[in-house]
Chain A
Amino acid sequence: MAKIKALTQEWLDAYKAAIVADPEYKQIAKDWEGSVSLICNADPGKGIPEPIYMFQDYWHGDVGEFVVCDKAKADSAKFVMTGDYSRWKQVALKELDATKALLQGKLKMKGDLPYVVRNIKTVNKVIDILGAFETQWPDDPE
C-alpha cells in the first residue's frame, strides 16, 4: 500500500477513516465536544513553504469535517494546536508524546486547557491513531 503524503487532504481523510475504524474511539471520546485545528508552521527547508492549516470536527465519539483549510477556519476551532513541522512529525512517529510536547512548549495550544486535561484519554487516543497508517513525510527520501 502506497504511503500517504503527510499534512494533505488525503492524509486527513485517512486519519478520519482510521479514527472511525478504531474499535475503542467512540466509547473513549463519548464526552468530547469540539473542533480541533492543527497548524504546521512553515519550514521551507523541510518542504513546507507555507503554514498548513487543518480543521477537524469531533463530537461525542463521532467525527465530522476533516479538511485542509485557511487560517480563519483553523482559528475558529475550539482548540488550536500549533507546532513546527519537525515536532508534528515526532508526535506522529511516537518519538514525542503530544502532552509532553505541549508542556515543554514544543507545541502550543489555544483553548480550554482544563477541558483537555479532563479528557486526556480522548486526546491520547486520537494522537495514538495518528501513527496508525503509513505516511510519507515531505523530508523523507522518496
Chain B
Amino acid sequence: MPRGYVGKFLLVNLSKGTWNDFTVAESILKDYLGGSSLAAKLFFDKYPLDADPLSEQNPLMIMTGPMVGSGFPGTSRFSICAKAPQTGIWGESACGGTFGPELKRAGYDGIVFEGKSPSPVTLSVVDGKVELLDASSLWGRDVYESTDLLREKDAKLKVLTIGQAGENLVKIAAIGNDKGHFSGRTGLGAVMGFKKLKAIVVRGSAKPDKADEERYKAAFKVSITEVKESAVAEGLHLMGTDANMDLGMVSGDVPIKNWTVGEDFEMSSNLSGPTMREKYLTKEHACSNCPVACKRVVKVDEGPYKTEEGPGPEYETCGSFGTMLMNSDLTAVIKANEICNRYGMDTISCGSAIALAMELYEKGILSKQDLDGLDLTWGNMEAVMPLIRKIALREGFGDILAEGSLRAARKIGRGAEDLVVHVKGLEAPMHDPRGFHGMGLAYMMSNRGACHNQHAVLPTEQGMASWPQLFDMKDDYVGTTSVDKAMLVFNSENYGILANSLSICHFLVHILKPETILEAFNAITGFELTNEELLKTGMRDWTLKRGINNLLGITSKDDVLPKKLLTALADGGAAGSVPDVALLLSEYYAIRGLDEKGYPRQEKLIELGLDDVRKRLYQ
C-alpha cells in the first residue's frame, strides 16, 4: 500500500445492516489516485450502470484522496459520487470542510454504501469502530438541527447529513458537512434520502504516513510562501468567492435575469464580496488546514431577512439568488442561502429553477394560481423564501421545481424548455460562456453536465492561473473568442480534474505552483509521478467517466449549449458574443480523441489503459 492512503475502504450494505473492509490494488490507486476518479473506477467495475439512481442498485460512494489529512493546504476535500438523480448520468460533487480528513483519521480512505436501509440510520465511524445507529429521531430535521443533535454527546464528531430535501428525494438535494460546507450538485442528497441514510459521523486519531516526511515539510513550507504571495489567495480571504461579482460583471461573466441581461453594476455592487465584508461578515472561516480561509461567516442584524450568525453565501449563490432573480438585496441572498443550507439543497440549481419560474411568470406561461398564489415578479424575494421551502418539502408548485429545471420545464411545456440553461440536465453555474467561450466548451464536455468545477478552465481563461510549465499557454486569453480555446480546455480539464482525484481544493490548485503540488504529492505517496503522468491520470479520469456516460446513452448530440447561451446579449462585457460551438467541438473532439458519435476512439481507450471500457463500448 502506498503512503498517504489509510489502505482501507468501508463497504456498508444498508439493506442487510452489515459492513466490511475492502482494499484497492496499488496499481488502481496509481492510475486513479482517489476522489471521484477512484469512485468512477469502482462504479464502472462493480455496479450496474443502468440502475435507477434512486434504487438499491445505485451505490453511494464517498472518497478522499491521498493528500487528504496530510495538512497540505487545500487537502480537506472529498467527493460524493453516484449515478445522479438529477441527470441520470455520472454524478459527483466535491466538498471541503472537515469530513474528508476526519474520515481518514477514523480509519478509512472512503465509504461505499449499497442497498437501502429499512429505516433511517446514521453511520458512525469512530477510530475504526463502525456502527449503524437509529436515526428516526433525526428524520424530518434540517441540516443544522441534525448536525447539532448528532454532536450533542460528542462535539468533536464531523458530520455529513441531509436535510428534508434529501429525505423527500428532491432531485437537487445537497449533503452538508458541519453546516457550512455542501456537496451540492447533481442531487446526490436524494440518493442518501432514498437509502434512508440520514447522516454519517466520523472521528479519529490516526494519521496516515507520508513516504518522506522531511521532503513533504519542505514542499509544505514552499506552499505557505506561495499562498502568502498570491493575490488570488488574498482576494479569496478578504472577499470570499464573491470577489467575482464585481470582477465578473465587468467581463460579462455574471448571469442576470435568467441569462437575458448583460450588465447591472448597481446590482453587482450591492451583492459583491466587498459589500458582504463591509456589512455582514463576522469572521472568515477555513476548511481543515487551509491558510486561505475563503469561507464567510455572516450575520444580518435587522430587517425582513434578519439571520443569525452562520455560513455565508458563495459567489454562486449571490448569482443564483441575486442577479439571476433581479434581487439586489444581499440580506435576502444570505437568508435564501441559509434556508437552502438547512433543507439541504443546491443553491445553484434551486436559484436557477426559481429564475426559470420567474421568467415563465413574466411571460404568462405560469400564472399566480399555478404558483400557489406566489407573486414571482422579478426580484420579489418575499415570494422566493416560501418557494424554497415548497421545493424542499415538495409542496404544490415546489414539487415541480424539485425535479430540477429541465424536468420541471418539460412538465410545464409551452416552450419552457427553451428557457432552461443547462447541459445534460444540470443547470449551468454562474459563469456566462458568452463572456468566456472556453467555459462554453467546458460546459458541453463536463461529465456531470454544465459545470465549473470538473476542470480548471475558469481560472486559465479568466486569468486567475497560468501554467506554462505544464502546457503551452498564452499570457492572456480573450474571453469572447473561440479561437485557440479547445486546447486550453483540454489541458485545463486534465489538470483541473486532479483537484477531484487528489481531493485538493480548486482554489489551491489555482494558487499553488504545479511543481509544488507535485512535490508534496510525491513526498506523501512515494509514487514519484511526473507532471505528464499526473496529467495522464486526468485524461484517464475524463475518458472513463465519458465512457460511463456513453454507456448510459450520452452521445455527441448531448454535447450542446442551450439556446439562451447561443443568443447574444445586447450589453455588457459579452455583448454581441456567442461561442462558436462548431469550431470548439470539432477541435476538441480531435484533441480528446472522440469519434463523430462522441465515443472515445478505441486507440485512445487502449492508450489510457481503459481496455475494459473499450470492450463494453464497442462490443
Contact = CB atoms under 8 A, between A and B. Distances in A.
Nearest to B275: A118
Given A96-B476, A97-B476, A104-B466, A117 B273 contact: yes
B250 A120 contact: yes
Interface in A95-136: 95-97, 99-100, 102-106, 108-109, 113-115, 117-118, 120-121, 124
Interface in B450-485: 462-466, 475-476
A90 interface: yes
A109 B235 CA distance: 12
B388 interface: no
B272 A124 contact: no
A106 B230 CA distance: 10
A125 B367 CA distance: 45
Contacts of B155: none
Interface string B223-263: 00000011110110011000100110010000000000000
Nearest to A90: B475
Contacts of A124: 250
B265 A105 contact: no
Q: Which of A95, A105, A117, A121 has the most chain B CB atoms inside 10 A of its CB?
A: A117
B243 A117 contact: yes
B269 A118 contact: yes
A113 B250 contact: no
A114 B238 contact: yes
Interface string A70-107: 00000000000000000000100001110110111110
B231 A117 contact: no
A85 to B, nearest CB: 15
A97 B463 contact: yes
Given A105-B231, A118-B246, A118-B269, A100 B239 contact: no
B238 A102 contact: no
Given A96-B475, A97-B463, A115-B274, A103 B246 contact: no
Contacts of A109: 231
Contacts of A96: 475-476
B506 to A, nearest CB: 14
Contacts of A114: 238-239, 243, 273-274, 277
A3 B464 CA distance: 33
Contacts of B247: 99, 117, 120
Contacts of B232: 103
Given A103-B232, A105-B231, A117 B239 contact: yes
Contacts, number: 63
Contacts of A105: 229-231
Interface in B200-241: 229-232, 234-235, 238-239
A4 B273 CA distance: 40
A103 B247 CA distance: 12
Given A96-B475, A114-B277, A117-B273, A104 B246 contact: no
B481 to A, nearest CB: 14
B238 A100 contact: no
Given A100-B476, A120-B246, A113 B231 contact: yes
Given A117-B246, A120-B250, A104 B463 contact: yes
B281 to A, nearest CB: 11
Contact of B463 (A90, A95, A100, A118): A100
Given A117-B246, A121-B250, A103 B238 contact: no
B223 to A, nearest CB: 14
B36 to A, nearest CB: 27
Contacts of B275: 118
Nearest to B276: A114
Contacts of B277: 114
Interface string A25-65: 00000000000000000000000000000000000000000
Given A113-B234, A117-B239, A95 B475 contact: yes
Contacts of A102: 231
Contacts of B250: 120-121, 124
A95 to B, nearest CB: 6
A103 B229 contact: no
B272 A118 contact: yes
A84 B464 CA distance: 19
B479 to A, nearest CB: 10
B352 to A, nearest CB: 25
B471 to A, nearest CB: 15
Contacts of A90: 475-476
A124 B229 CA distance: 23
Contact of A121 (B239, B243, B265, B464): B265
A121 to B, nearest CB: 6
A104 B273 contact: no
A117 B274 contact: yes
Contacts of B463: 97, 99-100, 103-104
B608 to A, nearest CB: 31
A19 to B, nearest CB: 19
Contacts of B462: 100
A82 to B, nearest CB: 12
A105 to B, nearest CB: 7
A81 to B, nearest CB: 11
Contacts of A115: 274
A105 B459 CA distance: 13
Nearest to B465: A104
Interface in B69-113: none
Q: Which of A106, A120, A121 has the most chain B CB atoms inside 10 A of its CB?
A: A120
A105 B468 CA distance: 14
B384 to A, nearest CB: 26
B466 to A, nearest CB: 5
Nearest to B245: A117
Nearest to B479: A97
A97 B476 CA distance: 7
Contacts of B476: 90, 95-97, 100
A29 to B, nearest CB: 14
B231 A103 contact: yes
Contacts of A97: 463, 476
B231 A118 contact: no
Q: Which of A103, A106, A121 has the most chain B CB atoms inside 10 A of its CB?
A: A103
A56 to B, nearest CB: 20
A113 B273 CA distance: 11
Given A109-B231, A114-B273, A120-B247, 15 more contacts: A99-B463, A103-B231, A103-B232, A103-B465, A104-B466, A108-B229, A113-B231, A113-B234, A114-B238, A117-B273, A117-B274, A118-B272, A118-B275, A121-B250, A124-B250
14 contacts: A90-B475, A96-B475, A96-B476, A97-B476, A100-B463, A103-B232, A106-B475, A108-B231, A113-B231, A113-B239, A114-B239, A114-B273, A117-B243, A118-B272
The 9 closest A-B pairs by CB, nearest first: A100-B463, A114-B274, A118-B274, A104-B466, A103-B464, A117-B246, A96-B476, A96-B475, A102-B231
